[in-house]
C-alpha cells in the first residue's frame, strides 16, 4: 500500500464531499470514483469518518500550497491579497453556477459532529484561514492603523466570505457574493481614509508644536 493510493482516496473524497456532502457520499461512491479496492481503502481508513478526518487534515496542512499560493501569486499588496482570496471563491461559484462553495464551510454546516477530533479539525481550518488574513492585516497596519483589532477583522472577513457564499448558493445568484464583498472593500477603504486623516492631523499638530 503506497501513499499515492491514500492520496487518491482523499482527493476523491474531497471532491465528493464538496459535490454531494458528507452524509450523501457513501464508501461505495469513493471506491467507484477512485477505482480503489475496498481492501486498500480500509487499510488506510477503517471507516468513512476516518476518511473525513483525513480530508480535514489535508485541508489544514495544505492551506498555503493548495489555497493561498494559487491566488496570491503576483499579488504583493497585502489588502489586495485578501480580496484575491475572496476572488478565488468567486471563481469557483462562477464555474459551478453557484452550486459549490467553501468546502470547510459546507462541511461545518452539514456535520453536527460530537467527535471532538472532527470538531477540532473544522475549527483548526477556520483558524488557519483567519490567521492568513491576519498576516495580511499585520503587513498593512501602516495603512489601516496599528490600534486596529486585526484578529477580529480577520474573523469578520471569514464571516463575510462564508455568509456571502451561503447566500449565493441558496439564491443561485452571484450578486449576493459580489455585494457582500463590495461592502467589505468599502470598509477597508474607510479604514485607510481614517488612517490617512489621522496621519495628516498628527503632522499638523506637530507643526503647530514646533511653531
The per-residue pLDDT for range 113-168, each reduced to its tens digit, is 678 999 999 999 999 999 999 999 999 999 998 899 999 999 999 999 999 999 99
DSSP 66: I
Question: In the prediction, which pLDDT does 146 show?
Answer: 85
CATH architecture of the domain 62-210 equals Orthogonal Bundle (1.10)
Residue 85: other Cβ atoms inside 10 A = 22
Helices (H), 140-149: 141-144
pLDDT at 205 > cutoff 70: no
pLDDT tier at 203, thresholds 50, 70, 90: low
Give which of 54, 59, 64, 63 is closest to 30, Cα–Cα. Answer: 54
One CATH from 3.40.630.30, 3.30.360.10, 2.60.120.260, 1.10.10.60 for 3-51: 1.10.10.60
The domain ranges of the chain are 3-51, 62-210
Give 4-13 pLDDT, tens digit per residue.
Answer: 999 999 999 9
170 or 197: which leads in pLDDT: 170
pTM: 0.88
60, burial (CB in 10 Å: exposed 0-12, middle 13-18, buried 19+)? middle
Give the Cα separation of 59 and 125 in Å (integer).
Answer: 7
Residue 205: other Cβ atoms inside 10 A = 10
pLDDT at 72 > cutoff 70: yes
User: 1 is written with which cell numbers?
Assistant: 500500500
Amino acid at each position: 500500500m503506497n501513499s499515492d493510493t491514500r492520496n487518491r482516496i482523499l482527493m476523491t473524497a474531497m471532491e465528493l464531499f464538496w459535490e454531494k456532502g458528507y452524509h450523501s457520499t457513501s464508501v461505495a461512491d469513493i471506491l467507484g470514483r477512485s477505482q480503489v479496492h475496498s481492501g486498500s481503502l480500509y487499510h488506510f481508513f477503517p471507516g468513512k469518518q476516518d476518511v473525513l478526518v483525513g480530508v480535514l487534515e489535508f485541508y489544514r496542512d495544505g492551506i498555503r500550497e493548495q489555497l493561498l499560493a494559487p491566488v496570491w501569486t503576483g499579488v504583493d499588496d497585502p489588502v489586495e491579497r485578501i480580496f484575491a482570496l475572496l476572488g478565488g471563491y468567486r471563481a469557483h461559484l462562477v464555474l459551478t453556477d453557484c452550486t459549490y462553495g467553501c468546502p470547510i464551510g459546507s462541511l461545518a454546516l452539514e456535520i453536527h459532529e460530537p467527535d471532538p477530533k472532527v470538531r477540532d479539525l473544522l475549527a483548526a481550518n477556520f483558524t488557519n484561514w483567519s490567521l492568513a488574513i491576519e498576516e495580511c492585516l499585520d503587513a498593512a497596519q501602516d495603512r489601516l492603523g496599528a490600534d486596529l483589532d486585526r484578529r477580529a477583522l480577520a474573523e469578520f472577513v471569514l464571516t463575510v466570505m462564508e455568509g456571502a457564499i451561503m447566500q449565493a448558493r441558496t439564491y443561485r445568484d452571484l450578486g449576493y457574493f459580489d455585494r457582500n464583498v463590495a461592502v467589505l472593500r468599502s470598509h477597508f477603504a474607510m479604514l485607510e481614509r481614517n488612517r490617512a486623516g489621522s496621519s495628516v492631523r498628527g503632522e499638523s499638530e506637530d507643526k503647530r508644536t514646533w511653531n
